[in-house]
Structure 1
Amino acid sequence: MEAPETLQKAIAYFSDPQRSFDAAVDFRWPGGNVTCPRCGQAKHSFIKTRRLWFCYVCKKQFTVKVGTIMEDSPIGLDKWMIAMWMLANCKNGISSYELAKVLGIRQNSAWFMLHRIREAMKGNPDFKLGEDEGGPVEVDETFVGGKIKNMHRKHIREKYHGQATGGANTKTIVMGMIDRNSRQVRTKVIPNVKRDTLQGEILANVSKRTPVYTDNAIGYYELAKQEFVHETVNHLQEYVRGQVHTNSIENFWSLLKRTLNGTYVAVEPFHLDRYADEQAFRFNNRATKDNKLTDSDRFALLMSQVGGKRLTYSELTGKDTDSLHRETAGTGQEEPF
């Protein structure tokens, strides 16, 4: 398949049901090696008039959507592909209201679509930052959320149950790391900035003996004892000392907050990980001097990641998780629907 190069060409190309189906099959099963998503077997027959397969092993039918983020969605492949193209390539994201207008669907359907696409954007790296002569690695955390003084008294009571609030406790903490060599960033919402939390994440994501640059927050103290080459910069006195700085990860924070403040406006803390994954996907796959990735390349990469992932509406809204998970401090209300 010759992939379209622009959004206009993508809309024209995928508007044909057969071409969108063929493209989805090529992305899902490169080389045409179709296997049943339930049993993994390739013994099946294709029902052309209905664009589905019948598996002779598990005796069930399956479509190209089964076993992907699109499973059980009545929305056509053409609209799914345009949504993926836009979210993968719009630098500041796209709101569910805007996507609903573009695709001609309801806003709550667009909101659900976007979160399912973010699930596909989530990276599953099997390597640590700084490996194979990588690094140095910059580590920093940022606080996302609105100010208590701007919140309605009713929302303060609902969120904090009358408890005293103030400072960072009213915001959600996102920790980030970036490898200067590979230019890859990783993010994670963390519960606090205690030493065990911060250094535990570094141990899980950064190869030992890698140079690690941070600010002088107390949570990073004695990081060198964990076999890292640790250097800090005191932002009260300086921002750069030779090669020691955290400017690269702070650049990523500016991109993330521009997206949150300008496009999504209000994000609940239990959804924040997904928005960070979205921004990290675009950042990690941006065009650079050494890697000339195009919009079509980012779209193809995203389409190749839709398999083996599933996000139900109950999981997304927290209906099948512990209610305590919803009591985390945050930034306001998710996009209403």
Structure 2
Amino acid sequence: MTTQFKSLLQLFDYFKDDATCVKYLADSRWGDTPSCPHCGNVGAYVTNRGYKCKAKECAKKFSVTTGTIFENTKISLRYWFAAIYLATAHKKGISSLQLSRDLNITQKTAWFLLHRVREMLTNNAPQMLEGTVEVDETYIGGKHRNKHSKARRLLNEKGTGAINKTPVVAMLQRDGSIITIVTPLANGDSIKPFIYANVKPGSTVITDGFGAYKGLDKTYTHEVVMHSENEYVRPGNIHTNTLEGFWSHLKRGIIGTFHQVSPKHLHRYCHEFGFKYNTRKVLDTVRFTDAIKNVNGKRLTYAKLIS
């Protein structure tokens, strides 16, 4: 199933109609045995409009899109699959304006569609990181010269580039996965619980000299690289350069493709780039297949999106 198409043109040839898309989605969700999205019961009757749960206590009707990001969509699944393929295959993402031109849909529709795809790429139950884990924070926002006068004055007084920017914290396991979180404050009270919840005790955690990381040595082997003293690599392969590479990728995507990202939606962009980083060693088609497997329980309504 993952070798049927290797480009956007081949994707449209393979998914020639909605019936093919529905079958592909059903195989991805359930295989040969449909499962009721309402009660979780395995087994359903096939009806002329979809399925009906075999459990007498439930007996609800549902379709292959019920309980997914596609639920109640007015857009053809062919367009959905094309958008998912483009969003996951483009290393620096695709803007809603570009997607609207590529698929001949409105920019508003493309914007809503892409945010639902990003919501789908969220990993709600990531595996605990272990071994050597790099931890770092960055700040997403406008350049100093583009800030209003009050922000520039605060920046000059405090001497930090974090004024009016949104903190993002990430943890990256060497030769493994990355986990990101957008936090309102970058301090020990917000960062350390995030680390404790996602990194196995006893692991080697490498950070810079930021004070929020003090105390990690009680749970981990804590190595500190003092960037403030122009120290970036220490013997023993002690550095955070792998994570710095991810930050560069994320920021180049935001600056070059999206130009501006609001703090309200920033976490979805981080999940998008995190998903692409975690699947960086697979083919675009395999990445598409992995993304489709995440459609369950990730519905995002327009009212919630703009609330």
Q: TM-score, normalised by structure 2?
A: 0.90
Superposition pairs for residues 183-332 of structure 1, below 5 Å?
A: 183-225=176-218, 227-235=219-227, 236-242=229-235, 243-287=237-281, 293-317=282-306, 319=307
Give the superposition deviation at 1:34: 0.9
Match for 1:9: what amino acid? Q
SS at match of 1:86: helix
1:244-298 Cα shifts (integer Å, max 9, x gaps): 11000000000000111011111110100000000000000011xxxxx211110
Do the aligned residues in 2 keep the contact of 1:147 with 1:170 (CA within 8 Å)? no
Letter in 2 for 1:76: S
The one-letter code matched in structure 2 to 1:280 is G
1:127 aligned onto 2:127: yes
Equivalence for 2:158: none
**Structure 1 residues 229, 152: CA separation in 2 closer, same or farther (over 3 Å shift)?**
closer
Give, in whole Å, the separation in 2 of the partners of 1:45 and 1:191: 48
Match of 1:330 in 2: none
What corresponds to 1:324 in structure 2? none
**In structure 1, distance between residues paired with 2:103 and 2:284:** 19
Letter in 2 for 1:255: H
Alpha carbons of structure 1 residues 253 and 126: separation in structure 2 relative to 1, 3 Å:
closer
User: In structure 1, how many angstroms separate the alpha carbons of the residues matched to 2:53 and 2:194?
Assistant: 43
* Inter-partner Cα distance in structure 1 for 2:27 and 2:4: 11
CA deviations on 1:296-333 (whole Å, 9 max, x unpaired) are 1101110011012211112211x2xxxxxxxxxxxxxx
Whether contact under 8 Å (1:100, 1:106) holds in the other structure is: yes
What count of residue pairs does the alignment treat as equivalent?
297
Partner of 1:36: 36
Tell me the CA shift for residue 60 of structure 1: 3.8
SS in 2 for 1:98: helix
Q: CA deviation at 1:147?
A: 3.5
Contact 2:33 2:43 in 1 (8 A): no
Report the CA distance between 1:23 and its aligned residue: 0.9
Shift of 1:43: 5.2
Structure 2's unaligned 5+ residue stretches are 156-160
Partner of 1:82: 82
Tell me the CA shift for residue 65 of structure 1.
1.1
Q: Give distance in 2, aligned partners of 1:152 and 1:100.
A: 32
Which stretch shows the higher mean deviation, 20-29 or 241-250? 20-29
1:168 deviates by 1.3
* Whole-angstrom CA distance in 2 between matches of 1:169 and 1:315: 28
Q: Deviations over 1:104-150 (max 9, x none)?
A: 111111111111111110113353110xxxx2111000010013642
Cα displacement (A) at 1:16: 2.2
- Please show how residues 104-183 of structure 1 align to structure 2 within 5 Å: 104-130=104-130, 135-147=131-143, 149-151=145-147, 165-166=154-155, 167-181=161-175, 183=176
Amino acid in the other structure paired with 1:266: Q
1:186 is paired with a residue of what secondary structure? Answer: strand
C-alpha change, 1:217 and 1:44, in structure 2 (3 Å) is closer
Which residue of structure 2 lines up, in the alignment, with residue 101 of structure 1?
101
Q: Residue 198 of structure 1: SS of its match in structure 2?
A: helix
* Displacement of 1:18: 2.0
Q: Deviations over 1:68-127 (max 9, x none)?
A: 011111101111111111111110101111111111111111111111111110113353
Instruction: State how far apart, in whole Å, the 2-side matches of 1:294 and 1:149 are.
Output: 40
Cα distance in structure 2, aligned partners of 1:66 and 1:127: 27
| 1:174 CA drift (Å) | 0.3
Q: Secondary structure at the match of 2:222?
A: strand
Percent identity between matched residues is 40
SS of the residue 1:176 aligns to: strand
* Letter matched to residue 15 of structure 1: K
Other structure's SS at 1:38 match: coil
- Runs (4 or more) in structure 1 with deviation over 4 Å come to none
Please state if 1:21 is matched with 2:22. yes
CA–CA distance in structure 2, aligned partners of residues 145 and 259 of structure 1:
13
Letter aligned with residue 173 of structure 1: P
Aligned amino acid, residue 280 of structure 2: R
Does the 8 Å contact 1:224/1:230 carry over to 2? yes
How much does 1:207 deviate?
A: 0.8
Task: Work out whether residues 47 and 54 of structure 1, in 8 Å CA contact, stay in contact via their aligned partners in 2.
Answer: yes
